[in-house]
Amino acid sequence: MPTAAHVLSHLGNAARGVTLREYGLSRRMLATAVRDGSIIHVRNGVFALPTAPHGVITAAQHGGALTCSGALRAHGVWTLDEDADPHVWLGAHGRSHHVDCACTGHYFEGRTLFGVAPLEDALVHVYLCRGDEAFFASLESALRLRLVGAAGRARIRSRLPAKAHWLVDLARTDADSGLESLLRLRLHLLGILLECQVEIPSVGRVDFVIDGLLILEADGAGNHEDAAHRHRDLMRDAEASRRGFETLRFDYAMIVHDWPIVAEAIAAAVARLHERS
């Protein structure tokens, strides 16, 4: 006979008592498990594991499954931003149980579940909730981690509105980081081609090359600050220039938050290089 905790972990960390009883767990066994602390009585008729991923218990209290960024993170997928409060998937006709809370309830198609929304559902939800960029970056992360394969990609595509199909078609399985996904999507919209992790003789590996002419380095926080790193970066820039490349450096915050400045700088540099050639 499996324990209540066992069944809950099989069901995705949270479930209704009715469902647990279908697995042979009596009311009494559930009450005992609650008393010994191996499961939590979340609210009337709903139980969860105390070790459930962050947000799952709150979502169950509010009447559904954790979805959007919180669910994607629980699946190990990169997200562009973090939801301040859990986003709760109530199913198409679910009943919410909000108590003075700031959670975001979603009535997307499907039946009411508890626990973490399945990955494909969470990806579709993040498109509907957050739009193109958040969806694209998380989809590429899921593809790279092999959490979504060809069949899953097709299913996700079929569930999105037609105007979003191109995002699924553009997504690659080898994107190196969320920043790369974001950059490729934004530059694609400007008609600019991006190559990633390019090896340039005597310069070394650079983050991105745009239109084969322009090196774009995305400086992460921390690793470009000390003098030795700075010196090495400047040496690389000099060598790249000698080989006919122009180098632009931005930090993560500029790319994410000051995109118009970055986009204009890139477009102007691309135009200069095209004029010259």
Of positions 71, 103, 143, 182, contacts Zn ion by CB under 5 A: 103
For the bound state, the minimum distance from the C-beta of residue 98 to Zn ion, rounded and expressed in Å, comes to: 3
Distances (CA, A) of 59 to 28, 113, 125, 269: 25, 10, 15, 48
Q: Which is nearer to Zn ion, 59 or 262 (CB)?
A: 59
Place of tokens 């450096």: 249
How far is residue 74's CA from residue 55's CA, in Å, rounded to a whole number? 9
Do 89 and 65 touch, CB atoms closer than 8 A?
yes
CB of 108 to Zn ion, least distance (A): 9
Q: Which is nearer to Zn ion, 93 or 243 (CB)?
A: 93
- 188-217 mask for Zn ion (x: CB under 5 A)? ------------------------------
Do 109 and 160 meet the contact criterion of CB atoms below 8 Å apart? no
Q: How far is the CB of 114 from Zn ion (least distance, A)?
A: 14
Binders in 58-87 for Zn ion, by CB under 5 A: 62, 68, 87
Least Å distance, CB 251 to Zn ion, is: 28
Q: Which of 194, 73, 78 is nearest to 141 (CA)?
A: 78
Q: Which residues make Cβ contacts (< 8 Å) with residue 2, sequence separation at least 6?
A: 10, 23, 24
Interface residue with Zn ion among 101, 145, 198, 265 (CB under 5 A) is 101
Q: How many other C-beta atoms are found inside a 10 Å radius of the C-beta of residue 53?
A: 18
Phi, psi of 225 (to 5 degrees): -90, -35
CB of 200 to Zn ion, least distance (A): 41
By beta-carbon distance, which residue lies closest to Zn ion? Answer: 129
Q: Smallest distance from the beta carbon of 85 to Zn ion, in angstroms?
A: 8
> By CB under 5 A, is residue 116 in contact with Zn ion?
no
CB closer to Zn ion out of 131 and 244: 131
- Closer to Zn ion by CB, 103 or 255: give it: 103
Options 49-57, 73-81, 124-132, 215-223: segment touching Zn ion (CB under 5 A): 124-132
CA dist., res. 168 & res. 35, Å (int): 47
Residue 8: CB minimum distance to Zn ion, A? 22
Q: Which is nearer to Zn ion, 56 or 203 (CB)?
A: 56
Angle subtended by helix axes 132-144 and 178-189, to nearest 10: 130
Q: Of 98, 231, 243, 272, which one interacts with Zn ion (CB under 5 A)? A: 98
Choose between 93 and 98: whose C-beta lies nearer to Zn ion.
98
Please report, as residue ranges, which positions from 6 to 65 form the binding site for Zn ion (by CB under 5 A): 62
CB of 144 to Zn ion, least distance (A): 23
Would you call 78 helix, strand, or coil by DSSP? coil
Q: Are 95 and 111 within 8 A, CB to CB? A: no
- The answer to the question of residue 129 lying near Zn ion (CB under 5 A) is yes
How do the residues of the chain divide into helix, strand and coil, expressed in percent and rounded to 5?
A: 45, 15, 35
By the 8 A CB rule, do 184 and 175 touch? yes
40 token code pair: 């939590």
Residue numbers at the binding site for Zn ion (CB under 5 A): 62, 68, 87, 98, 101, 103, 129
